[in-house]
Amino acid sequence: MKFIYSDSHKLHFPQAEYHRGEMVTPFEKPERIEQITARLDEVGFTGIQCDELWDSEPVLKVHSADYLQFLKTAWQEWLAAGFNGDLMAGNFPVRRMQQRCPKHIDGKAGFYSSGNDTSINAGTWEAAQASCMATQRAQKVVANGDAACLALCRPPGHHAGKDLFGGYCFLNNAAVAAQMFLDQGAKKVAIIDIDFHHGNGTQDIFYERGDVLFASLHGQPEDSYPYYSGYADETGKGDGAGCNFNFPMPPGTRYETWAQALEDAIFHIQKFRAAALIVSLGVDTYKEDPISFFGLETEDYLQCGKHLSQLNLPTVFVLEGGYALDMVGQNVANVLLGFEGC
């Protein structure tokens, strides 16, 4: 299997995030990609450096134009306002407040953000574009005949909504890949999100659309980020009614329980008759992940890959989370090895 990456991901490296009452070094850091790339090389996968220009057309079908303009200019506006340090939202348009975008960058940051866990620095926009480029290249590899391909996306994307960034995410790479398959003629596409955290951004984008099925396996929102979405009764709306499936699970969930949810999601995807599959590949379900509470073992990811291969669909893997640096490379590699039947 090929994997696509870009060294431009290193341009995005905020220096702090707010976590449990204190400022800490972000868990989502450049070393994640270095660890994964090294392990994928060791097991024999083929890495392709991606430096081509991105195609904005499918991106504009899943994100609003005003939001993309905000991401493009936010850092320059932040500096022009005389602020020091990384851009981090501090004010939000909560219940019963006006939903109007302010002129000032401090207000804009909160208007387009879902929380203060995610910062923007000088290289964020370029890194986010490069992450999306890697996804677009991986989709083209699969569309041209490969059974599967991995986009090593950093920053990740599944928490990015139509017009919101958060959860380390700015552009929704999985959504872009799905839209590309549709633009190329596919009638239906499925996205399965196996990251520990609910893919609230992906759900937001496709919740009222019937051409994309979204299924997410994640920590129950009563106890885990993003807290305000991911309940089982969120099943879609309008044209998307019955196309959204959430599988929230409690603290301490181990593979046996998690795998049953995976099988249920696979059943719904088979019934949907999708022409292609996008896997939001997060391995923060691992037992030692520092910001999660499931109990999956490294060997379980081999079985996960085998389960996904049952769908027998052209498949684009899109990297999301996974923050146990010592094992993130092996856990990602095991999903791909299992998928290939190794």
* Short-list 213, 220, 216, CA closest to 236: 213
- DSSP code of residue 9: G
Active-site hit among 159, 197, 218, 307: 159
Residue for token digits 């991401």? Answer: 71
SS3 of 166, please?
A: strand
Residue 198 annotated among the catalytic residues of the structure: no
CA 191, CA 175: separation in Å to the nearest integer?
8
Q: At what angle do helices 124-143 and 173-183 cross, to 10 degrees?
A: 40
* Alpha helices (H) along the chain: 31-42, 56-59, 65-80, 105-111, 124-143, 173-183, 200-206, 255-272, 300-309, 325-339
Angle (CA) 76-78-81 rounded to 5° is 110
Contact 322, 32 (CB under 8 A): yes
Q: Are 62 and 88 in contact (CB under 8 A)?
A: no
Q: Which residues are catalytic?
A: 159
